[in-house]
Amino acid sequence: MEKTYHVAVVGATGAVGAKMIEMLETSSLPIESVKLLASKRSKGKKLAFKNKLLTVEELVPDSFKGIDIALFSAGGSISKKFAPEAVKRGAVVVDNTSAFRMDPEVPLVVPEVNESALHSHHGIIANPNCSTIQMMVALDPIRQAYGLDRIIVSTYQAVSGAGMSAIKELKEQLQDMLDGKQPEDLTANILPCGSDAKHYPLAFNALPQIDVFSDEDYTYEEWKMVNETKKIMSDNQIKVAATCVRIPVLQGHSESIYIEVKDSSATVRSIQDLLLQAPGVVLQDDPSEQIYPQALNSVNKKETFVGRIRRDLDVNNGFHMWVVSDNLLKGAAWNSVQIAESLHRLGLVRVN
Ligand code: A2P
């Protein structure tokens, strides 16, 4: 008989949690049951899964009794505290937070790129940062064919990456502005970063801060892109720099990416041909027809969209491109469920 799994979603009431439930509904994973977990505040709330209403339960260590696969997206501190509890009770954890990403014992996985890293898991698998994932899907085929020397990326990130409360804050600010309020009278308590001292409105704005500032005046989000790229590509020599910007888009991260390849035989055409065949990539690149990826068109799609591929005007091996994906799906919920599907296919889920 085929194995069937008891699956838990931690943070089921959140922006990513809601999408995890959606992705599980259509997943090829053989699911026996789904348990929805969140904070005490959400206890008793009903959420639909495959036309059935499930009751949200309060997360406690024993929530994981009998669970085979636990998908976590309730913030780093919850993962740090509860992921080991889940593993202790026999579950394999796919964690969408940054809690374990740089732990050398924890595989950091984008299935299209480094699925085989799953073989070394000890119970926890980390889902990379949303901006890193889509960049890896687009760049790994190029790295494999031509080698990658350097990446410089600027992101244009949607507000849903900061959770439900940030979405609500932006919508209220937009309405207030349309109703005639002045920017200085807008309420801002969440963005650019809930835990930082100052908050600024995002409505009709662009904020060059995602997460708090860290070494060399780069933000944590920017460091995540640097460090996670090196880990996923298993290449400590690759040069990476990022500038991460929040823009007033609800769903879908966009990235302007500049790369320098090692092999000078690469051309725009050969890179386009590679990406046409690449798993998880949709090439949308025809300037003559004004065809290029757009955040709005990426919403609720699992793929990463690539376009505007062009040569740098001064550097021989340099290329520019525009890469877009749904941050809640490939950037979070879909990549997590895809990891669970890979674990199943590779026989790496321990069944309770
Ligand atoms: P709740 O809705 O009960 O607060 P988002 O990223 O959209 O802000 O969502 C965060 C998710 O993490 C929500 O599902 C939220 O549940 C959950 N969460 C926050 N704090 C806790 C906690 N202490 N225990 C369990 N889940 C939590």
> What integer pLDDT is reported at residue 351 of this predicted model?
57
pLDDT digits (tens, 9 = 90+) for 112-122: 999 999 999 99
Distance from the CA of 11 to the center of ligand 1, in angstroms? 5
CATH number at 5-127+332-345:
3.40.50.720
For strands 318-325 and 304-311, give the pairing: antiparallel
Reading the block at residue 302, the tokens are 């699992």
Distance from the CA of 13 to the center of ligand 1, in angstroms? 7
- CATH match for 132-326 among 3.40.50.720, 3.30.360.10, 3.40.630.30, 3.30.310.50: 3.30.360.10
pLDDT digits (tens, 9 = 90+) for 40-61: 999 999 999 999 999 999 999 9
Query: What's the rounded mean pLDDT across residues 247-270?
Result: 98
pLDDT(269) > 70 = yes
CA 332, CA 219: separation in Å to the nearest integer?
A: 20
> What integer pLDDT is reported at residue 118 of this predicted model?
98
pLDDT digits (tens, 9 = 90+) for 147-182: 999 999 999 999 999 999 999 999 999 999 999 999
Distance from the CA of 110 to the center of ligand 1, in angstroms? 24
CA 259, CA 156: separation in Å to the nearest integer?
A: 17
Nearest CA to ligand 1 atom 15: 11
**Ligand 1 contacts CB of residue 161 (under 6 A):** no
Tell me, yes or no, if the pTM score tops 0.95: yes
How would residue 2 be classed by pLDDT, with cut points 50, 70 and 90?
Answer: confident
- What does the domain layout of the chain look like in residue ranges? 5-127+332-345, 132-326
